[in-house]
Amino acid sequence: MHELLNVNFGKRFFSARFFYEVIFAIGKYMFEKAIAQPLFPTHIWIHCLKDQEAKRINKSAVGSLSRMMGCASAEPRGGSRQSSQNLHCFPEFAELVGIFNHASRAVLDTMRVKYEAFEITGCWANIAGSGASHAMHTHANNFLSGVYYVQTPPGTGAICFQDPRDQRDIIQPRFEETNQFNIVVQQVAVEAGTLIIFPSWLKHSVPTNTGQDERISISFNVMFSDYAKTISPPRWSGIPLQSGSSST
């Protein structure tokens, strides 16, 4: 079982680089300076709606989902259900879809991705009863994925991400404690009104709902509208070809 490193993004936390600098500062070494420089970082993008806006949107979403998915009784312990994957096509969720698109565009632009257009390829609601969880998985054939939290009663507000480097499992020493240098699975605290966007290839899971009430979230995937034209062609240039037969 991998140990978890809990991160609450509502509070200040120290970076691995800062932590390493502090460790060397308190020792007597010959080094003038020592830092831990992260390479190839994996980013997730966390957005928090304003409280009043989140309450209004979430209240509307709960009502719409109850009507559209049927007024089912509370899920049995360990049970969960999902809507169809075309939630983004319904006018009841147009505002949320607009938020998803706005945040996704900001992520792509920050990454400096060249693209003509992108679109949501699937969007669905997740309703998890007490005791329910979701095993580690990815969202294949998409570039970005996201999850928005509509309802997070006590004991339900978290998502876990796994270190994507498979070679980490080759050697697994024992550690005195879990920190940012050795963590394999990181648990991120969330609350209603939180939107997280992450690479679709990043393995993630949902921990067990330890509360008594249902957790409600809305997930979606994003992909480039014209992938074959904008992404697939080779990135290098060769000698331009000229049409017509050559003379001898």
Q: Where are the domains of the chain?
A: 4-11+43-226
Per the model's pLDDT, the better-predicted residue between 202 and 85 turns out to be 202
Average confidence score pLDDT of the chain:
83
Q: If DSSP codes are grouped into helix, strand and coil, which group holds residue 248? A: coil
Q: Calculate the alpha carbon distances from 110 to 67, 92, 201 in Å.
A: 38, 29, 18
Give the C-alpha separation, 125 to 83, whole Å.
5
Check if CATH label 3.40.50.1100 holds for domain 4-11+43-226. Answer: no
Q: pLDDT tens digit string along 109-148?
A: 999 999 989 999 999 999 998 888 889 999 988 999 999 9
Given a cut of 70, whether residue 36 has pLDDT beyond it is yes
The pTM of this model reads: 0.81
- Across 70-74, 100-104, 157-161, least confident range: 70-74
Categorize the per-residue pLDDT at 170 as very low, low, confident or very high, splitting at 50, 70 and 90.
confident
For 186-223, the pLDDT digits (tens) are: 999 999 999 999 999 999 999 989 988 899 999 999 99
C-alpha radius of gyration, the chain, whole number? 22
Residue with tokens 């308190």: 26
